[in-house]
Amino acid sequence: MIYYDVIIVGAGPAGIGVASLLSQSNINYLVLEKNEIGNSFLQWPKSMEMITPSFPSNAFGQIDLNSICEGSSPAFSFNKEHLTGEEYSEYLDLISDHFELKTQTHTEVKTVQKKENGWIINTNTDNYFAKYIIWAAGEFQNPQIRNIKGSEHCIHSSFIKYPNQIQGNNFVIIGGYGSGVQLAYDLIQNKQKVTLINPFKIDDVSTSDPSRVLSPYTFNKYEKLKNSKLYTEILGEVDSVSTSEDIYQIKLKDKTVIKTEQIPICATGFSLVKEPIKEFISFRDDGSPNLIPETDEFFGQKNIYLSGPSVRHDDHIFCFIYKFRQRFGVIVEDIMKKEKYSDKNISLLVDSWKRNGMYLSDLSCCGEECVC
């Protein structure tokens, strides 16, 4: 058994980001990653780029939107606004090397057991004991196709790695958020016909929150897309998918039937990777994990925290990097308090994290929306 104070599961932006703050204390931690650092980004479709723009604005007190630690900017490292998945994973690698973060790759957490003073973490290599776990296993590796009968006849959009190379005719995409619109755009650039099904009008903008509507970057692509003769948009909810004689039939709840020779593509999102810890999670009505608002520990548990895009508090969705990084400091502060660090030492770190967008404890300000 190998002992650590803190085990962080996952070396994506959430795991590497929270490790960069922990490394500023003397707390003994290790990041366990089942594959490579930035694994999810390495698996993105090759044409996919970050939709949040990067800009090296750190020196003016406004840290790059895609930065996961103080003093770093993907825009500065790559001289680019919209990084590809491969570039972003390289950025995470650079951070890990620069700050000499303790990361062990090719180590998959299989099970987690609760003990009186901590947690036993079993992996494909070793067994670990830790007082605290920070779960940062992300969502990308848990693609979701929900509430569609016959979903086994569909493919999830995240499995299509080279959308601008596939050939066929009349592709049907179910879901019109970021991934669905990006995929439709790529297919049409490749002169393919696309029908996109979404329950509501994609450009019906009633909020400025990019967690709920298309980001400006994707909206721009959508504007080009919807004027294409190759593009059809259908308002509706898919009820079921069936197949016979190499034809797929997609039936909507209003009984409309759409037929295609191509396997239907579901751009229906992702949800938290949770298998090894599912017994410690209770869920809100919207399916997100219930968390303690002050610490981001799983509700009803102690010393097991969630970091990453599944964090929700009331109506606030922390799904973008610039949003969920604001909770890194909250988690690390709680661990430092439990480890009896002095208030003075804690506030020295917290003050700097606050200045750099890595600490948000007052959630009352998150409801602000743009007025024009």
Using CB under 6 A, list all residues that contact ligand FAD. Answer: 9-15, 32-35, 39-40, 44, 48, 50-52, 108-109, 136-138, 140-141, 178-179, 273, 276, 308-309, 319-321
Output the smallest distance, CB 245 to ligand FAD, in A. Answer: 34
User: CA-CA distance, 245 to 177, in Å (whole number)?
Assistant: 31
Output the smallest distance, CB 137 to ligand FAD, in A. Answer: 4
C-beta of 150 vs 309, nearer to ligand FAD: 309
C-beta of 93 vs 108, nearer to ligand FAD: 108
C-beta of 260 vs 326, nearer to ligand FAD: 326
CB distance 110 to 9 below 8 Å: no
C-beta of 74 vs 150, nearer to ligand FAD: 74
CB distance 248 to 241 below 8 Å: yes
Output the smallest distance, CB 258 to ligand FAD, in A. Answer: 25
Output the smallest distance, CB 161 to ligand FAD, in A. Answer: 12
Output the smallest distance, CB 207 to ligand FAD, in A. Answer: 17
Output the smallest distance, CB 136 to ligand FAD, in A. Answer: 5
C-beta of 128 vs 341, nearer to ligand FAD: 128
C-beta of 10 vs 236, nearer to ligand FAD: 10
Output the smallest distance, CB 271 to ligand FAD, in A. Answer: 12
Burial pattern 312-322, b for ≥16 Cβ within 10 A else e, equals bbeebbbbbbb
C-beta of 22 vs 32, nearer to ligand FAD: 32
C-beta of 15 vs 163, nearer to ligand FAD: 15
Output the smallest distance, CB 39 to ligand FAD, in A. Answer: 3
